[in-house]
């Protein structure tokens, strides 16, 4: 078996995390829309807030699932804290997506004057913003974790044949470090 490539794991998690977060953001927005209809919410700012919170919670959960590793699942307070941080960041991403979507829709309105259909509806920008921000955070966390504590750092902490830390020259003798230092 060849050497492990932890960057493949990080890339795979990121590529799977974005669609998962986007789908869960859309489901969160659908649930928020249903609750708005059920409770009779009529004010547009309240409906938009509910949509952004629904997208934030859904995308935060999706990005949080991507952070989980099979070989080490942290304790529940850490999971809860990470989920809350990712959901809050996702709510911020939903708000930014809504703002950017408003500008893009205004540009499309100015070009087409109501004749051309929109490329994306404003709700799509909310879901994309909500999914993008926590996945970028999860990617940065995964890169940092793999570099500081994960498999990248584990290779540098392996003991050599002479008892010191670091990679061995690989010939299997017990004094790799001593030979390299000229002390044989």
Q: Is residue 115 in a domain?
A: yes
Its domain, for residue 52, covers 6-26+33-168+175-180
Q: What is the mean predicted confidence (pLDDT) over 83-110?
A: 87
Which residue from 13, 23, 32 is spatially nearest to 61, judged by alpha carbons? 23
Q: Band of the pLDDT at 59, cuts 50, 70, 90?
A: very high
Tell me the two tokens of residue 183: 């002390």
**Is the pLDDT reported for residue 101 higher than 50?**
yes
Q: Is residue 62 in a domain?
A: yes
- Tally of domains within the chain: 1
Q: What is the mean pLDDT of the chain?
A: 77
Q: Is residue 132 in a domain?
A: yes
pTM of the full predicted structure? 0.70
Higher pLDDT, 55 or 184: 55
Q: Is residue 1 in a domain?
A: no
Q: Is residue 76 in a domain?
A: yes
**Is the pLDDT reported for residue 112 higher than 80?**
no
**Is the pLDDT reported for residue 88 higher than 80?**
yes
Backbone phi, psi, residue 159, to 5°:
-70, 140
Q: Is residue 20 in a domain?
A: yes
């Amino acid at each position: 078996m060849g050497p492990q490539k932890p960057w493949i794991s990080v890339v795979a998690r990121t590529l799977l995390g974005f669609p998962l977060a986007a789908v869960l953001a859309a489901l969160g927005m659908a649930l928020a829309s249903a609750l708005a209809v059920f409770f009779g919410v009529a004010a547009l700012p309240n409906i938009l807030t509910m949509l952004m919170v629904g997208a934030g919670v859904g995308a935060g959960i999706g990005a949080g699932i991507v952070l989980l590793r099979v070989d080490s699942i942290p304790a529940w307070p850490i999971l809860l804290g990470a989920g809350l941080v990712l959901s809050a960041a996702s709510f911020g991403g939903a708000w930014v997506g809504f703002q950017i979507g408003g500008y893009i829709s205004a540009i499309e309105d100015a070009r087409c004057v109501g004749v051309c259909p929109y490329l994306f509806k404003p709700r799509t920008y909310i879901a994309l913003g909500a999914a993008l921000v926590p996945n970028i955070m999860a990617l940065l966390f995964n890169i940092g974790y793999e570099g500081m504590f994960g498999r990248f750092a584990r290779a540098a902490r392996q003991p050599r044949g002479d008892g010191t830390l670091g990679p061995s020259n690989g010939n299997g003798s017990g004094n790799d470090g001593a030979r390299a230092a000229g002390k044989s």
